[in-house]
Amino acid sequence: MFESLYAHLPGSVHRALERIGLVLARAAAGHLEKVAEFGGNPAGLGMKLYLPPRAPAPGGPLLVVLHGCGQDAAGFAAAAGWTALADRLGAPLVLPEQSARNNRSRCFNWFERQNIARDSGEATSIRQMVDHAADRCKCDRRRVFIAGLSAGGAMAAAMLAAYPDVFAAGAVVAALPVGSASNAHSAVARMADAGVHLTAEDWAERARALAPPGYGGRWPRISIWHGLADRVVDPANANNLLAQWATLHGLGGAPTLDLSPRAGVRRRVWRDGVEVWTIEGMAHGFPVAHASTEPFVLSAGIDAGTEIARFWGLGAGPGRVEPG
């Protein structure tokens, strides 16, 4: 009946309804755009900005997500649940994207000093994206968060170390600690075998070396995730990350919280500074609760993005948003 009625409407009404439908579809899906100009961009990285259907409120958070090797930034963000999370929070999502010119496998160069040092290379380009998005969307500069998978996770850790005054917290998934490699050869070696037996203080010093000279402020909180069946990045790297960041936060000893949310999943928390999630039987990738066909986004019965946001203080359960 409705189809017959629609068919008899004037063409001008058809066009008006189509325009309304297009607006509603865009509002329901949010808006992804490529940003060409956001600063000097010394590393020549690409920038995509996702704006959720609900216009970001002034003073809201800003999320930055770094993809893994060979991944499309927007495709990874959608498959891993970050786009849906941005929708629930009403928060803009910054998606830096590596190019084959910088790295043949399109990995962020987390192992090169010139690309992770403060105000240098890829680190600078990512920082400029943060500044651009925060200014444009009027975000709260005290509520900027960064997360990444694999090479993107290692780069996220480096950004937390180089810019502890910029990021409130971060998440490192299936990745390595700051300073675990200094070139491509040692990066491959540390991925296969965490090796390097340093003290916790030595690991912390490798992170401090990237921070502003004499930095004495608060270090960003960090959520660390690793599958125990990972054959791409040695899970022992999660232990080194823990040693590094627990020391930066002045934390040590037994966790203040140690529980298993479900079979095979363990969560350990050191006060409000560091948390570590390990998942038995999970290979290399980002854990999600739903089925996934995206490479390195793995169905593990738990939504890492939601749990990470909750640790950050954003509380992003479906259908509810808690203040950060």
Q: Which domains does the chain have, with CATH numbers?
A: 32-312 (3.40.50.1820)
The sign one gets for the Cα dihedral 174, 178, 184, 186 is negative
**Cα(146)–Cα(256) distance, rounded to whole angstroms?**
24
Largest CA distance in the chain: 77
**Cα(102)–Cα(108) distance, rounded to whole angstroms?**
8
DSSP lists the bridge partners of residue 63 as: 93, 145
**Cα(179)–Cα(58) distance, rounded to whole angstroms?**
36
**Cα(207)–Cα(91) distance, rounded to whole angstroms?**
29
Residue keyed to tokens 């030595």 = 202
Tens digits of residue pLDDT in 221-265: 999 999 999 999 999 999 999 999 999 999 988 999 999 999 999
- Contact between 278 and 258 under an 8 Å Cβ cutoff? The reply is no
Tens digits of residue pLDDT in 263-276: 999 999 999 999 99
**Cα(97)–Cα(107) distance, rounded to whole angstroms?**
9
pLDDT recorded at residue 244: 98
Q: Tell me the three state secondary structure of residue 108.
A: coil
- Sequential DSSP letters for 248-313: HTT--SS-SEEEEEETTEEEEEETTTEEEEEETT--SSEEESS---STTEEE-SS-HHHHHHHHHT
Q: What is the mean pLDDT of residues 122-141?
A: 97
Residue keyed to tokens 């640790």 = 311
pLDDT more than 70, % of the chain: 89
Catalytic residue check, 150: yes
Tens digits of residue pLDDT in 261-318: 999 999 999 999 999 999 999 999 999 999 999 999 999 999 999 999 999 999 754 4
The sign one gets for the Cα dihedral 78, 82, 87, 88 is positive
Catalytic entry in 4, 120, 150, 186: 150
Q: Tell me the three state secondary structure of residue 15.
A: helix
**Cα(218)–Cα(183) distance, rounded to whole angstroms?**
29
- Contact between 47 and 86 under an 8 Å Cβ cutoff? The reply is no
Question: Would you give the DSSP letter of residue 159?
Answer: H
pLDDT more than 90, % of the chain: 84
